[in-house]
Amino acid sequence: MAVKKKFPYKAAVVACNGGCRASKTPDAKCVYGCIGCEQCVIACKFGAIHINDLGVAEVDEEKCIACGKCATYCPQNLIHIHECANYIVVKCSNHDKGKDARAVCEVSCIGCGMCEKVCTAGAIHVVNNVAVIDDSKCLSCGMCAVNCPRGAIIDTRGVLTGKY
Amino acid sequence: MSTFTVNGVQRTTNEKKSLLRYLRDDLHLTSIKDGCSQGACGACTVIIDGVTCKSCVPTTDRLDGKTIVTVEGLSDWEKELYTYAYGEAGAVQCGFCIPGMVMCTKALLDQNPNPTEDEIKYALRNNYCRCTGYVKIIAAVKLAAKIKAAGAIPEASTTDWHVGNRVHRLDVAEKVLGYGQYPDDIYPEDTTYAGALRSKYARARVLSIDTSKAKALPGVVAVLTAEDIPGENMIGHLKHDQYTLVPVGELTHYLGDAVALVVAESMAIVEKAKKLIKVEYEVLPAVHSIEEAKAPGAPLVFETDKSNVQAHEHISRGNAREAIANAPHVITHHFETPWTEHAFLEPEACAAYLDEDGDVFIYSTDQSAHQTLHECQLLLGTKKVKVQNALVGGGFGGKEDMTVQHLAALAVYHTHRPVKMNLTRAESLLVHPKRHHFVMDFTMGCDNDGKILGVRAVCESDTGAYASLGGPVLQRACTHAAGPYAYENFEIEGTAYYTNNPPAGAFRGFGVTQTCFATESLLNMMAEKIGISPWEIRYRNAIRPWGVLPNGQIVDDSTGLVETLEAVKPYYDEAVAAGKPVGIGCAMKNAGVGVGIPDTGRVKLLIEKDQKVHIYSGASCIGQGLGTVLVQNVVEYTGLNRDDIVYERSNTWYAPDSGTTSGSRQTLVTGEACIRACRLLKEALDSGKTLADLVGQEFYGEYLAKTDPLGANVPNPVSHVAYGYATQVCILNKKTGKVEQMIAAHDVGKAVNPLSCEGQIEGGVVMSMGYALREDYPIDENCKPLEKYGSLGLFRAHEIPEIKAIVVDKPGLNVAGGAIGIGEITSIPTAPAITEAYYQWDGQRRYSLPISGTPYKK
């Protein structure tokens, strides 16, 4: 590990699964998603964030110290801090109603509430049309991830879902 | 099609199902336990590509190319390593969570050979354990890391099985490696599956039941209703008041009532058939609460009763009214405690079939096989029933009442085919009786020195849809409300009300968890009023040997409350001196049923052909470690070696009825019966016979724990043969407001196995940290419980504080080698101790559990 970190580890997470990468409609643009502006990359002193092949910011949890600077610089306001031990994360920030969110991205959260229904811990809720996980309650089982009809919730370890 | 590797073998499947179901049903890898199938409990944890996953979550189609490891796939070295570490640390109680915990241990140590305590807690934190409080599991992981680094497994710290030694429990290996069988691990050949259609309404009259469409569904073997019951439809633990299947024309009492039973070739067909059963109901207004139950003109839960009162107690000794009227210091307050779910890791399950004698044979997970036998015999109208306890994945009182056993027996009776019947976790949360919700008004009067002059109290409980153990729970709540103190004037009136909520019954503490919260909280308030410390007020009032309890009983030499107070004092004083918020609580709890009810322990020692002593007793080991206790007794009182002794699980055809595992009674009552049998065997051995000479001989021990009934016309009635005493202290971190340390000193008479005692204490403390700080069981307007397993508020591994368990041995009890049961008391003084600590933290008194305004939000 490049920097000394305090356990339990925390890191930034970019709540966007790849912007409009999967949209069938080429012109459709998600106004909530990552725009690849690199503000976060510039802000990070630790080289813990980069723009990936999909054109969106991605955090290297090994390097990230959860200082939150990237989050303050993000013009889309879609970066937040999570506990690394909670490897199930929502990778979408689209606050539009289901139909509109669906139209601009194939991996968007449409606020259908399936995750809420299958969560045994009451740890995930749809807030403003997008799923949000409460770290303190989450049991990291991934039931929400495997039942999400949109693939908007992922297992960052890449076991229960793909890594992206 | 999906191809993946399981324990080194490549597997291919076309069927999409959860990995849990595939591993259990197709590969019969039964170390993977089905505790909820909802992703909550963690009992099904496996390792996929090096990291832990709950196997109920992913479906087989997602696993192409993955590598899966279960406990069965560990190397021999790993198997030995984890069996040793978990045994040496005392980490195994009921064992249901253990294979999942072992998987977490392996995944952690494979990546991080030298983890810190926090890292260990985090590795375990997505898996629940309800028995151990995690303390000894964490210790097992630490130990495993150390041994793994050293590369060699050491000798056990003791192999001396005499009483008083910390030997590894006898069932560690089968529980760590997952080959020990709980009922759900039994897959009879050609088995059917059964499931109950439950009432749609909490209170309704069943007008008609049409099962024709369900019966016509291919794969359905039988659909049974009340008409198919050959014997008594109504059964119950004490009072036979609960319909096995609600007949047409009768009332339902709660949403867990079974209306029809479907038996089919698969669970999928059972579920499909349930939807095809048409039931017409006349929906009636339900009773939701104590208030509604006692309101004039309230709907009656039992329509033939005159009121909703299920039980009433009035206990009075001395003159509490006058004593309080003359007391210089008087405090009165109202207290409330919530419903609590047992949340044992193993949901109710059973497997049953017709055996070679033509008897209905039931593999059961319950707290008394003999109780199950009697009720099933009544239901079927035949004596031809046998019950065998499999491993029991935790009970805590919640498995005293039958839930699936009788329905499975009925299925076998009709179909003559084997059957498996399990409750889903959602059904389990609804069906089995819970801890009673209590509302209480207490008044305490003290003199200027803080000596209690008198206590008066009124308490009411919501006992839900059926009697279950509501009466005895109320009685114990009332008899123990006085607390472990020496004073003469005590009066309490208690009433239990039927409602249409799920039934309430036995739960570790048995009513005392509720009234103790009130008494101990009042005592804390009184200490402040008088200007002495909460420790001091207890020390001044504490019952001492040959003192008289408020119930009139003269206590014996084993009475160790003062010793528990003294044991915690250095910790208490140090924390107070350091300015930390500190709280304290005391408790007493009976061991044995008491109050004049026949309470008999029975043990047979049979020398079998293998020239070993086999211990047979109809007493359930539900994870508390009874088997180990009995074996240690046999070693102690016969002088035989551990290897000469075999513990047999409870059954009903050879093991004699030794009563229900309830009331912290088995170590004492069955323990004494065992010692009596040992004396006979010892005589035979001392006469020069060897075990080989004694093959086929049986040595029988019986012990009747004789007590006086309540209100007995004697000056000093013996209500219980023994009481355990305890003091617990809660120390908070002033800055964070979190519990930093719990100190729990318990007088156990003689600790048969101190390691097991500590495990009970730690588990009881953590269970009641939940009760005090977070757990509840809300019920909606349809009398439906709302929470799922993962949202009950159970404590997780990373949330536990340091727990210091102090086992106080105090001789004086002249039976069972001086051993007093410890099962329940561990959970009793915790809540008032924690509540007082929070008062010291923020100056707010709290009168209702779970307490609010703490960092432990649900």
Note the pLDDT tens digit of each residue in B228-250: 999 999 999 999 999 999 999 99
The complex scores an ipTM of: 0.95
Q: What is the pLDDT of residue B312?
A: 98
> Is the distance from CB of B750 to CB of B163 less than 8 angstroms?
yes
Yes or no, beta carbons of B126 and A7 under 8 Å apart: no
Between B48, B62, B790, which is nearest A146 by CB? Answer: B62
- CATH 3.40.47.10 applies to domain B600-704: no
B842 pLDDT exceeds 90?
yes
**Chain B interface, Cβ < 8 Å to A:** 36, 38-40, 42, 48-49, 51, 53-54, 56-59, 62, 66, 116, 118-119, 122, 125-126, 787-791, 798, 857
Q: What is the pLDDT of residue A1?
A: 44
The residue of chain B nearest to residue A142, with distances taken between CA atoms, is: B57
Range list of H helices, B296-336: 320-325
Residues above pLDDT 70, as percent of chain A: 91
Q: Name which CATH class applies to B546-594+709-858.
A: alpha beta
Residues B763 and A77: their CA atoms lie apart, in Å, by 44
> Is the distance from CB of B169 to CB of B756 less than 8 angstroms?
yes
Chain A contact set for B45 (CB, 8 A): none
Q: What is the pLDDT of residue B858?
A: 82
A24 pLDDT exceeds 80?
no
The residue of chain B nearest to residue A140, with distances taken between CA atoms, is: B126
DSSP E strands in B345-418: the ranges are: 349-354, 360-364, 385-389
Q: What is the pLDDT of residue B537?
A: 98
Average pLDDT score over residue span B320-341: 98
Q: What is the pLDDT of residue A28?
A: 66
A22 pLDDT exceeds 60?
no
Average pLDDT score over residue span B776-790: 97
Please list the residues that pair with B315 across neighbouring strands.
B492
Average pLDDT score over residue span B621-641: 97
Between B57, B126, B857, which is nearest A160 by CB? Answer: B57
Chain A contact set for B789 (CB, 8 A): 120
Question: Distance (Å) from the C-alpha of residue A7 to the closest C-alpha of chain B?
Answer: 7
Please list the residues that pair with B45 across neighbouring strands.
B54
Residues above pLDDT 90, as percent of chain B: 100
- Residue spans of the domains in chain B: they are 2-179, 546-594+709-858, 600-704
DSSP-assigned states of every residue in B678-728: HHHHHHHHHTT--TTTTTT-EEEEEEE---PPTT-SSSS----SEEEEEEE
Instruction: Give the pLDDT band (50/70/90) at residue A23.
Output: very low
Chain A contact set for B56 (CB, 8 A): 141
Q: Per residue in B514-572, pLDDT tens?
A: 999 999 999 999 999 999 999 999 999 999 999 999 999 999 999 999 999 999 999 99
The residue of chain B nearest to residue A122, with distances taken between CA atoms, is: B791
Yes or no, beta carbons of B57 and A139 under 8 Å apart: no
Q: What is the pLDDT of residue A163?
A: 78
B329 pLDDT exceeds 80?
yes
Between B58, B787, B798, which is nearest A160 by CB? Answer: B58
Residue A93 half-sphere exposure, CB side, CA atoms within 13 Å? 20
Yes or no, beta carbons of B790 and A160 under 8 Å apart: no
Chain B contact set for A122 (CB, 8 A): 787-788, 790-791
Q: Sign of the C-alpha dihedral, residues B506, B510, B511, B514? A: negative
> Which single residue is written with the structure tokens 């006086």?
B708
Write down the architecture of domain A10-155 according to CATH.
2-Layer Sandwich (3.30)
Question: Distance (Å) from the C-alpha of residue B51 to the closest C-alpha of chain A?
Answer: 8
B653 pLDDT exceeds 70?
yes
B511 pLDDT exceeds 70?
yes
B595 pLDDT exceeds 80?
yes
Question: Distance (Å) from the C-alpha of residue B789 to the closest C-alpha of chain A?
Answer: 6
Q: What is the pLDDT of residue A29?
A: 78
- Residue spans of the domains in chain A: they are 10-155
Q: What is the pLDDT of residue B117?
A: 97
Chain B contact set for A124 (CB, 8 A): none
Q: Per residue in B255-309, pLDDT tens?
A: 999 999 999 999 999 999 999 999 999 999 999 999 999 999 999 999 999 999 9
Yes or no, beta carbons of A123 and B790 under 8 Å apart: yes
For residue B647, give the DSSP letter.
E
Residues B467 and B149: their CA atoms lie apart, in Å, by 55
Chain A contact set for B62 (CB, 8 A): 146, 160-161
Chain B contact set for A62 (CB, 8 A): none
Between A7, A146, A161, which is nearest B118 by CB? Answer: A7
B748 pLDDT exceeds 50?
yes
Average pLDDT score over residue span B102-124: 98
Between B125, B788, B798, which is nearest A120 by CB? Answer: B788
Between A122, A139, A157, which is nearest B39 by CB? Answer: A139
Q: Per residue in B703-737, pLDDT tens?
A: 999 999 998 999 999 999 999 999 999 999 999 99
Three-state DSSP class for B100? helix
The residue of chain B nearest to residue A9, with distances taken between CA atoms, is: B119
Same fold for the domain at B546-594+709-858 and the one at B600-704?
yes
Yes or no, beta carbons of A120 and B791 under 8 Å apart: yes
Average pLDDT score over residue span B77-84: 98
Average pLDDT score over residue span A144-161: 96
> Is the distance from CB of A75 to CB of A39 less than 8 angstroms?
yes
Three-state DSSP class for B827? helix
Write down the architecture of domain B2-179 according to CATH.
Orthogonal Bundle (1.10)
Residues above pLDDT 70, as percent of chain B: 100
The residue of chain A nearest to residue B425, with distances taken between CA atoms, is: A120
A2 pLDDT exceeds 70?
no
Yes or no, beta carbons of A157 and B59 under 8 Å apart: no
Question: CA B331: distance to chain centroid?
Answer: 34
